[in-house]
Amino acid sequence: MTDAILHVAGLTRRFGSVLANDDVSLHVRPGDVVGLLGHNGAGKTTLVSQLVGLLRPHAGTIQIGETDAVADPAAARRHVALQPQAQAPIDGLTPRQAIELASRIRGLTARDSRAAATRLADELDLGPWLDRRALPEGGGLSGGIRRLTSFAMAVAAPMPLLVLDEPTNDIDAARRRLLWDAVRRRGDEGSGVLVVTHNVAEAERIVDDLVVLHHGRVVAAGSPARLRGTQDNDLRLDLQLQPDGQDPTAQPQTVPVTVRRRVRAGRRVLLTVPTAQAATAVTWATTLRDQEHIDGFALGPVTLEDTYLALTTQPRDTGSEHIQEASHV
Ligand SMILES: Nc1ncnc2c1ncn2[C@@H]1O[C@H](COP(=O)(O)OP(=O)(O)OP(=O)(O)O)[C@@H](O)[C@H]1O
């Protein structure tokens, strides 16, 4: 993969008996936004830490541009901007000062740094907070504004590779949309972007490719359309169970539609059903709701979230199970 800005192959990292990264391979090309998905503890931050030289792999290679990042992490870091998962330590600074400082560290002139801060404040709707000081113990600025500032610091100067570790945490819905658009823009401007997120539904809108980690291993990779992997004429029936209520899909013989995939996650049951059976599905779900067997339901297009839950939700997980095979009664 010679044209990739990031090329990871066979990456393995243990913590004692925990295999946090198990033979992980992935690549990011210039201009591509790649989402890295996975449950808590799947190994995402461990991977990111190795990319930027904070952890040494036990096996495997990391190439950033032409540089071997394992042999020469300092040289590799010159091509990477990281937004870490932890909040940036900006107490005592305003977002404007923090962004300008990050720009200067990346080699921008004072004038260009000032322009970068103004442009990013506009792009992320940070204006009202731009000159408000961050105070110790979370004072002065909210967690969301601190997170946006941290993102702005990471992207203040253009870099060949951008690594963002959960950039949307704590951020309200309106600014999350601005942030995702800003991430996409960095890809469109030529950076390779690797973005760690739990937010499957929002990431799906802007990424070119996704990599799904599960217990340290890559269990799926490809474009959202490819990972969705269902036939275009499938729909998702989302049943909201009642608290402590029975799961009406637990007995497949009582389900009157073809179920191509069933995922149970907490009080939700997601059924992938053929579009041709939409009317039957709605009639059945309406009856279940009217008889108070479920709280409600929604019928809509299959999303990546369904696939993601099916890949990462296992029968042994408490309250969760999935059935991949079609069942029809
Ligand atoms: N420094 C460490 N010492 C011991 N175990 C660790 C260390 N860092 C990570 N682990 C373990 O490695 C595994 C992967 O952790 P990691 O933080 O990479 O997951 P993650 O996917 O980033 O999770 P989250 O979404 O919760 O941030 C977990 O089992 C974690 O407990």
* pLDDT bracket for residue 310 (50, 70, 90): confident
Question: Which of 208, 224, 240 is the C-terminal boundary of a domain?
Answer: 224
Whether 238 and 145 share a structural domain = no
Which residue from 13, 18, 218 has its CB within 8 A of the most atoms of ligand 1, so it is best to mutate? 18
CATH number of domain containing 67? 3.40.50.300
Dig out the tokens for 135 from the structure: 């105070």
Q: Give the strand pairing for 320-323 and 261-265.
A: antiparallel
Whether 107 and 156 share a structural domain = yes
Per-residue confidence (pLDDT) for residue 39, from 0 to 100: 87
DSSP string, 139-191: BSS-HHHHHHHHHHHHHSS--SEEEEESTTTT--HHHHHHHHHHHHHHHHTT-
How close is the Cα of 223 to the center of ligand 1, in Å?
A: 26
Q: Give the strand pairing for 59-64 and 67-68.
A: antiparallel
- Is the pLDDT confidence value at 1 over 60? no
Which residue from 17, 36, 44 has its CB within 8 A of the most atoms of ligand 1, so it is best to mutate? 44
Q: Which of 27-36, 115-124, 182-191, 243-252 has the lowest mean pLDDT?
A: 243-252
For ligand 1, residues with CB inside 6 Å are 15, 18, 20, 38, 40-46
Top-confidence residue, 147 or 319: 147
Enumerate residues 6+ apart whose C-beta is below 8 A from 35.
195, 196, 197, 203, 207, 209, 210, 211
In a domain, 269, yes or no: yes
Whether 273 and 215 share a structural domain = no
Whether 109 and 245 share a structural domain = no
Whether 121 and 213 share a structural domain = yes
The angle, 0 to 180 degrees and rounded to 10, between the axes of the packed helices 95-105 and 143-155 is 20
| Number of domains the chain contains | 2
Nearest CA to ligand 1 atom 5: 15
Q: Could you tell me if residue 213 is left (phi over 0), alpha (psi between -120 and 50 degrees) or otherwise beta? A: beta
Name 196's bridge partners: 36, 165
Residue 160 CA, distance from chain mean position: 20
Dig out the tokens for 199 from the structure: 């937010």
Mean pLDDT of the residues in the chain: 88
In a domain, 328, yes or no: no
Query: By percentage, how much of the chain surpasses pLDDT 90?
Result: 65
In a domain, 65, yes or no: yes
How close is the Cα of 47 to the center of ligand 1, in Å?
A: 10
Whether 185 and 39 share a structural domain = yes
Whether 217 and 234 share a structural domain = no
Q: CA–CA separation, 157 vs 159, rounded Å?
A: 6
CB atoms within 10 A of CB 212: 23
Whether 204 and 235 share a structural domain = no
Which residue from 45, 54, 166, 213 has its CB within 8 A of the most atoms of ligand 1, so it is best to mutate? 45
- Is the pLDDT confidence value at 22 over 90? yes
CB atoms within 10 A of CB 36: 30
Phi, psi of 223 (to 5 degrees): -70, 160
Nearest atom (ligand 1) to Cα of 47:
18
pTM: 0.83
Per-residue confidence (pLDDT) for residue 90, from 0 to 100: 82
In a domain, 51, yes or no: yes
Whether 166 and 19 share a structural domain = yes
Nearest CA to ligand 1 atom 27: 40
Domain of residue 305 covers 229-323
In a domain, 199, yes or no: yes
Enumerate residues 6+ apart whose C-beta is below 8 A from 56.
50, 70
Nearest CA to ligand 1 atom 28: 41
Per-residue confidence (pLDDT) for residue 155, from 0 to 100: 96
Q: Give the strand pairing for 234-241 and 192-196.
A: unpaired
In a domain, 301, yes or no: yes
Whether 182 and 240 share a structural domain = no
Top-confidence residue, 233 or 110: 110
Nearest CA to ligand 1 atom 3: 15
Nearest CA to ligand 1 atom 6: 15
Whether 111 and 255 share a structural domain = no
Question: Which of 224, 239, 265 is the C-terminal boundary of a domain?
Answer: 224
Q: What is the pLDDT of residues 248-257, one digit of tens each?
A: 998 888 899 9
Question: Which of 175, 191, 224 is the C-terminal boundary of a domain?
Answer: 224
Dig out the tokens for 121 from the structure: 């404040």
CATH number of domain containing 275? 3.30.70
